[in-house]
Amino acid sequence: MNDVKKIKVLPLILGLSLLPSASLSREDLKEGGMEDIANFFQITDNIGTGGQPNISQINEIAKANYSVVINLAMHDSDNAIPGEDKIVTSLGMKYMHIPVPFDAPTSDHLEHFFSAMDSFENDRVFVHCAANYRASVFMYKYLTLRKGVAHEKAASPLLKKWLPTMSDQWKLIIGLEAV
């Protein structure tokens, strides 16, 4: 009987350890926080992008007052977290998964992403994929096509670096003038 109680209590303890603290400072973001997420970039005041966060970093996303996490990676991408949706929602954030195959992105994926971003327009949104490549391209297209942001301002440092070597399929996505 004691073993059963221990098993039931363990998820509660693990869940509580992931809850965000009430206060947030600039230091929280720098030391062991958002800046540790692979290729993290704060593209606007309310939108950040990055590579796949680990469980501890998902807690940091909540601490940074994001209210939505959008995952563009496939469920079997490198470092994917099984049950990421449950972890995110247990921290009080909304979660949306739009799986985009890295080797086969389509305008349909982009259109789905635009709809999601439009529905979360008043929220603080963190968009990620495995390494922030998909997220950078989709965010660039959203900001330039939907929000009228200048190309230079909408391009993350990672996107600028990737552009010269990007595959033809991704160049097609970058070249879209409407969705």
| 64 has a pLDDT exceeding 60 | yes
User: Partners of 126 in the beta sheet?
Assistant: 48, 69
Query: Per mean pLDDT, which range of 8-17, 25-34, 51-60 is the poorest?
Result: 8-17
Sign of the torsion angle spanned by Cα atoms 138, 144, 148, 152: positive
What is the rounded average pLDDT for all residues in the chain?
Answer: 86
- At 84, the pLDDT band (50, 70, 90 cuts) reads very high
Lowest mean pLDDT among 3-17, 101-115, 134-148: 3-17
- Binned at pLDDT 50, 70 and 90, residue 33 comes out as confident
Q: How many Cβ atoms from other residues are within 10 Å of residue 9's Cβ?
A: 10
Rounded to two decimals, the pTM is 0.82
- Which CATH code, of 2.40.37.10, 1.10.3720.10, 3.90.190.10, 3.30.465.10, is assigned to 24-175? 3.90.190.10
